[in-house]
Structure 1
Amino acid sequence: MKEILYLLETNKSSNNSFAFILIGEDSKIPLKEFVNSLNNRNIKFTGGVFPKIIHNNKTSGTGIVIKWLPHNAVSIYFDSSKTFSQQISEFSSVIFLTAYVLTSGISSESSEHLRSLYTYLGNDVKFLGGGAGRIKEHNGGVLISNDGIFNTGTIITLTENKVTTGSLHGWTKLHGPFIATKTDKNFIKELNWENAFVVYQRFLKTALDIKINRENFEDNSIHYPFGIYKENSEYIIRDPMRVTEEGYLHCVGNIPENSLIDLMTMRKEDFKSVSKNLVCQSIDKESKIADALIFNCISRANHLNNNFYVELSNLTDEIKTNQNQVNLEGALSIGEIYSSGEGYPEILNKSIVLGFSYLDKNAN
């Protein structure tokens, strides 16, 4: 921890002195001591704990990523719409352009929190971020800021600088639609008026000859997520993480009741095209990149296995091909947060969110 504190304390840039910190869950950093030390040094910061952090084409459970944001960045922790509205009102005269959002990845309230952000910030702000959390059981908190350590809730860090952003996943429809006839936030209780797990189980056996039960659910469901259809954009993927005793499918991110959802798959040709298409979608080739930030889904990594690192290498190469030697850094997240500035921000699953900041602040 001493080395990290030294790096944070000796940052030379007066213009970029707000620390955005992503911590691997195996780093063994004592969060309470870490937060107190940063506050004692008057360092402004926000951050989260993630299953792993990303550096170019490598991941690490023990690493840490530090991104420097403008010194006038504003951070707000909130656990309800009311709390956020009270705090954002203090900055009504500021024109924010970018919002870095970290939320508790397994929380059922995250979707509502994002709707609150959109209510007050609208289409003028681009959102990017991810769901913080740990794969291993731990009660040490997952979100940090100058205000403390939190297990739940959302932290938004707002800046007046523009970024360019993009998001892709490469999943395509395998079968559907199913009707999510009964849901409760991020739980699918019924599909087509039947118990959700029974329908999911039956389809995988009938169509794909996959025998899925409670014991092997996570090993199989990771390859067959649901997709919520969105006109003129990619499906919103919903990952069934586990099955409850009642046969409900517990997902990352909410599923509207009576929505049409499809079962999804990923074809080789779609996987191969993601890296190039995502960078082309996200980057402003006319401006010099200052930084690249990625949030990539932990369940995407588990689905792709070794191909995940192929994809990271391809992304890194695409960025360096376009211009300069910026490192691709970020985190493996439990859900990704994205909005292009058109429509409210979404919690994504099994997706990649990529953001670029520029030396030229006027990048589009």
Structure 2
Amino acid sequence: MNSFRTKEVIIMFINLDREGTVEGLQYLLEQADDDENTLGVLILACDANAFTPEKVDEILKQYKKPVFGGIFPQILFNKEVLEKGTIVAGISQPVSTVVIKDIGDISIDLDAIIENAFEWQSLENKTIFVFVDGLSQYISPLIDSMFNCWGLIPNYIGGGAGSLSFERKPCVFTGEGLLEDAAVLALADIKSGIGVAHGWKPVAGPLKVTEADRNIIISLNWRPAFEVYREMVEKISGKSFDNTGFFQLAKGFPIGIVRMAEEMVVRDPISLDGNRLICVGEVPLNSFVYILKGDKDSLIAAAVKARLLAEDCYLKTLSEKKEKSLTTFFMDCVSRVFFLQSDFNEELEAVYAGYPLLGALTIGEIANTGKDYLEFYNKTSVIGLLED
């Protein structure tokens, strides 16, 4: 077990169970419950722990303090990448949580739920943690509702939970249990700075999305989507999808959606349905997209940029230049690890700034850019500096 304290000042109650057992999770929650300064609890767990509602729901429902988080392919602890284990972080500021079940149910009025979520509470200088089933097809409407109702008054940070098997299963921790096709929002009275960057550059396009169904691109420039994507990727890479698995080749050539901002929003093509490209996250009809490419240096430089942007954003929240205790919260796309492989350790080293670091390798990342918009990203580094 590990926890951090700096002199008399509590940074964040952070404990780690490296074994990833149900008993370990229960013990960590009991430790957080016993800590009089802990007012809410964040849980980050690995998919390899094999947590199920049958195993953990009773523990979660009995816990007295607000609880939120997710199950991810891997989690991050300081400079380590863990394929098994659980992190429990106690937050020493007031926390309010809202659980949204069945976000894929189109009959749900997301705007009404969001509008009433934190009624009468001020959002200014606060942080909203957002964890969602990363394989849901309806993440974009959720993000849009949050932006429509709350704008950029708070900071947002979080990510898509789930498994690399791409099998839908319960993966969002809430006080109501471990849920599938759900989201949990946690409003914390924490000042933060958020930085977002990805390092992928356009190498082909623009292409018009002429037919799409949420996260599925059906046609590009009025032609079957995979035919167009295949021609461009095979020409640029010199490789063929005939003798290379789809994801093995596509992981190096994501799709970028043009936005009115400095960087495009990246979408990860993860599989095929005939000639349709299935992505993590929605690709809007009639949007313009590019084929992107990156390398080790550009991706690591982007992670450093995200950290520097987070630092700059955080400094702007301070009314006085007083040294505070900070925690680094790092949401990084798991497909960046597939691309960087052993070089991912360099990215993690570059992001680590000496503060306690916790985070996860996600199926999509959620954050605001500070002044432009709120977005669900792929293949992107999102860093939050949290003042607890």
Q: TM-score, normalised by structure 2?
A: 0.84
Q: Does 1:26 align with 2:55?
A: no
Once the two structures are superposed, the pairs formed by residues 255-294 of structure 1 within 5 Å of their partners are 255-283=283-311, 284=314, 286=321, 287-294=323-330
Taking structure 1 as reference, are residues 108 and 28 closer, same or farther at Cα in structure 2, changes over 3 Å only? Answer: closer
Q: Distance in 2 between matches of 1:349 and 1:87?
A: 24
Amino acid in structure 2 at the alignment position of 1:288 = K
Match of 2:18 in 1: none
**In structure 1, the residue corresponding to 2:349 is in which secondary structure?**
helix
Q: Distance in 2 between matches of 1:156 and 1:53?
A: 20
Q: Does 1:82 align with 2:109?
A: yes
Q: Distance in 2 between matches of 1:214 and 1:142?
A: 34
Shift of 1:341: 4.1
**In structure 1, the residue corresponding to 2:235 is in which secondary structure?**
helix
Match of 1:336 in 2: 365
Match of 2:120 in 1: 93
Q: Distance in 2 between matches of 1:173 and 1:140?
A: 34
**In structure 2, the residue corresponding to 1:129 is in which secondary structure?**
strand
Amino acid in structure 1 at the alignment position of 2:118 = F
Taking structure 1 as reference, are residues 4 and 207 closer, same or farther at Cα in structure 2, changes over 3 Å only? Answer: closer
Shift of 1:270: 2.1
Q: Distance in 2 between matches of 1:200 and 1:3?
A: 46
Q: Distance in 2 between matches of 1:53 and 1:254?
A: 25
* Match of residue 68, structure 1, among 71, 90, 104: 90
Q: Does 1:217 align with 2:246?
A: yes
Taking structure 1 as reference, are residues 74 and 195 closer, same or farther at Cα in structure 2, changes over 3 Å only? Answer: same
Summarize deviations over 1:64-87 as a string: whole Å, max 9, x none: 122223453111121265256246
Q: Does 1:239 align with 2:246?
A: no
Taking structure 1 as reference, are residues 90 and 3 closer, same or farther at Cα in structure 2, changes over 3 Å only? Answer: closer
Amino acid in structure 1 at the alignment position of 2:119 = S
Amino acid in structure 2 at the alignment position of 1:289 = S
Summarize deviations over 1:174-226 as a string: whole Å, max 9, x none: 11111111111111100111000111111223343221149611110000001
Shift of 1:50: 0.6
Amino acid in structure 1 at the alignment position of 2:72 = F
Amino acid in structure 2 at the alignment position of 1:4 = L
Where has structure 1 moved over 6 Å in runs of 4 or more? none
Match of 1:362 in 2: none
Shift of 1:9: 1.5
Summarize deviations over 1:222-247 as a string: whole Å, max 9, x none: 000011122332110011111112x1
Shift of 1:138: 5.6
Taking structure 1 as reference, are residues 154 and 4 closer, same or farther at Cα in structure 2, changes over 3 Å only? Answer: closer
Q: Does 1:6 align with 2:33?
A: no
Taking structure 1 as reference, are residues 314 and 71 closer, same or farther at Cα in structure 2, changes over 3 Å only? Answer: closer
Q: Distance in 1 between matches of 2:375 and 2:284?
A: 13
Where in structure 1 are there 5+ consecutive unaligned residues? 321-325, 360-364
Q: Distance in 2 between matches of 1:162 and 1:179?
A: 40
Q: Distance in 2 between matches of 1:209 and 1:331?
A: 33
Kindly tell me the number of residue pairs found equivalent between the two proteins. Answer: 351
Answer with 137-146 or 107-116: which moved more: 137-146
Answer with 11-20 or 98-107: which moved more: 11-20
**In structure 1, the residue corresponding to 2:109 is in which secondary structure?**
helix
Q: Distance in 2 between matches of 1:90 and 1:253?
A: 24
| % identical equivalent positions | 25
Does the CA contact (< 8 Å) of 1:204 and 1:212 recur in 2? no
Q: Does 1:17 align with 2:53?
A: no
Shift of 1:27: 1.3
Once the two structures are superposed, the pairs formed by residues 72-151 of structure 1 within 5 Å of their partners are 72-78=94-100, 79=103, 82=109, 85-86=112-113, 88-89=115-116, 91-96=118-123, 97-136=126-165, 140-151=169-180
Q: Distance in 1 between matches of 2:122 and 2:160?
A: 26
Q: Distance in 1 between matches of 2:290 and 2:84?
A: 37
CA RMSD of aligned residues (A): 2.2
Q: Distance in 1 between matches of 2:166 and 2:377?
A: 23
**In structure 2, the residue corresponding to 1:112 is in which secondary structure?**
helix
**In structure 2, the residue corresponding to 1:302 is in which secondary structure?**
helix
Q: Distance in 1 between matches of 2:341 and 2:235?
A: 26
Taking structure 1 as reference, are residues 183 and 138 closer, same or farther at Cα in structure 2, changes over 3 Å only? Answer: closer
Amino acid in structure 2 at the alignment position of 1:270 = S
Does the CA contact (< 8 Å) of 2:300 and 2:346 recur in 1? no
**In structure 2, the residue corresponding to 1:130 is in which secondary structure?**
strand
Where in structure 2 are there 5+ consecutive unaligned residues? 1-21, 316-320
Q: Distance in 2 between matches of 1:251 and 1:2?
A: 36
Does the CA contact (< 8 Å) of 1:104 and 1:154 recur in 2? yes
Does the CA contact (< 8 Å) of 2:210 and 2:286 recur in 1? yes
Q: Distance in 2 between matches of 1:93 and 1:163?
A: 21
Q: Does 1:191 align with 2:213?
A: no
Taking structure 1 as reference, are residues 271 and 215 closer, same or farther at Cα in structure 2, changes over 3 Å only? Answer: closer
Q: TM-score, normalised by structure 1?
A: 0.89
Does the CA contact (< 8 Å) of 2:28 and 2:88 recur in 1? no
**In structure 1, the residue corresponding to 2:49 is in which secondary structure?**
coil
Match of 2:340 in 1: 304
Shift of 1:140: 4.8
Shift of 1:345: 1.8
Q: Does 1:315 align with 2:337?
A: no
Shift of 1:346: 0.8
Does the CA contact (< 8 Å) of 2:296 and 2:343 recur in 1? no
